[in-house]
């Protein structure tokens, strides 16, 4: 079943990214972060499963094979090419209410952060966040 973004009209299964580049939060306008922009080089330099107990870590770096029984899968560890929630390609804007997007104001998960704000509507005006 196809899911269409209400703002850009793109099909989430194959759209490269949304066109909604700004959001109003706490009475200020912010530029939205693209998929991957919040994941800096330091993050990708860390080994796979770095947050787990050392005995359970896979330890694979980008380009290296995962350890057998790694919960992330098998094969070579790679940077994700698409967002697992809204399916945008790396470096593009998430679709509204994506669970992966990072808030440009507080740096928390955008879909559940406490920043108050609205989405700009294509025809003008604003729609409160969480209505979609």
Share of the chain above pLDDT 70, in %: 77
CA Rg value for the chain:
17
Residue 47 and residue 77: Cα distance in Å, rounded? Answer: 10
pLDDT classification of 75: cutoffs 50, 70, 90: confident
pTM of the model: 0.69
Alpha helices in the chain (DSSP H): 41-45
Domain spans in the chain, listed from the N-terminal domain onward:
1-35+84-132, 38-81
CA-nearest of 4, 21, 25 to 13 is 4
Mean local confidence (pLDDT), 11-21: 80
Under 8 Å between Cβ of 56 and 48: no
Residues 21, 22, 24: CA angle, nearest 5 degrees: 165
């Amino acid at each position: 079943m196809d899911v269409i973004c209400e703002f850009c009209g793109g099909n989430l299964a194959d759209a490269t990214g949304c066109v909604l580049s700004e959001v109003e939060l706490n009475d200020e306008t912010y530029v939205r972060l693209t998929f991957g922009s919040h994941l800096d080089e330091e993050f990708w330099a860390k080994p796979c499963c770095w947050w787990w107990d050392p005995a359970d870590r896979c330890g694979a770096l980008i380009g290296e094979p995962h350890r057998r029984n790694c919960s992330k899968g098998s094969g070579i560890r790679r940077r994700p090419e698409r967002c697992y929630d809204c399916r945008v390609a790396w470096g593009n804007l998430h679709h509204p209410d994506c669970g992966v997007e990072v808030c440009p104001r507080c740096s928390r998960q955008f879909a559940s952060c406490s920043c108050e704000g609205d989405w700009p509507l294509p025809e003008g005006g604003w729609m409160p966040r969480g209505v979609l």
